[in-house]
Amino acid sequence: MNVVLRTAALVTALAWSCSVRAEDPTGKPYVLAPNANPAPIAVGKPCSYQIAIKPVAPWVLKNSTPLKVKLATTEGLKVGKDTLTAVDLVEDPSKAKAVATSCEGLKPGVNRVNADLSFFLCTEEICQRYTDTAELSVEVTP
């Protein structure tokens, strides 16, 4: 009987871990999706930058937990805010939550936006802090 229970527990654990990996091959309980719009960006024209955080079920990103995204750009691109927080959250069409700011192309060429993120994901039982980085290449045209 004891062997049967151990085997059942092992099979359940393996099935659960396989199903989590099937949803997210990186092993993270979320996916980051940075985006600049429009693309490409014209010099001197306004644009928007956002980074979406899409949790994998059962995890959720709540508006009430701490969230901080520090942005750094190359010299050909400027963002409206260097640090984004929960105040900057917007609903993303993909059912994720995203932080957004304005941007402007300053010099033609391929530029980068680097983001350092710190945020919490929660289930019904716990909340857990995550840190990550994301990079987006942005083309600026004359």
Domain range for residue 67?
26-141
Average confidence score pLDDT of the chain: 82
- 102 part of a folded domain: yes
Domain count of the chain? 1
Which of the four pLDDT bands, split at 50, 70 and 90, describes residue 9? very low
Residue with tokens 């045209």: 141
Which of the four pLDDT bands, split at 50, 70 and 90, describes residue 39? confident
The total of other beta-carbon atoms located within 10 Å of residue 41's CB is 25
Which of the four pLDDT bands, split at 50, 70 and 90, describes residue 101? very high
- 14 part of a folded domain: no
pTM: 0.76
**CB burial string 11-24: b at 16+ within 10 A, e below:** eeeeeeeeeeeeee
- 111 part of a folded domain: yes
- The CA distance from 27 to 23, in Å, is 9
- 85 part of a folded domain: yes
CATH number, position 86: 2.60.40.1080
Q: What is the rounded average pLDDT of the residues 99-114?
A: 93
- 16 part of a folded domain: no
Task: Note the pLDDT of residue 3.
Answer: 43
Q: What is the pLDDT of residues 58-88, one digit of tens each?
A: 999 887 889 999 999 999 999 999 999 988 9
- 118 part of a folded domain: yes
98 vs 5 pLDDT, higher one: 98
- 7 part of a folded domain: no
Residue 47: which of 59, 39, 55 has the closest Cα?
39
10 vs 107 pLDDT, higher one: 107
- 19 part of a folded domain: no
Q: What is the rounded average pLDDT of the residues 24-39?
A: 85
Task: Note the pLDDT of residue 90.
Answer: 85
Cα dist from 6 to 11, 15, 18, 19, 20, whole Å: 9, 14, 18, 20, 21
For residue 35, is pLDDT > 70? yes
1 vs 96 pLDDT, higher one: 96
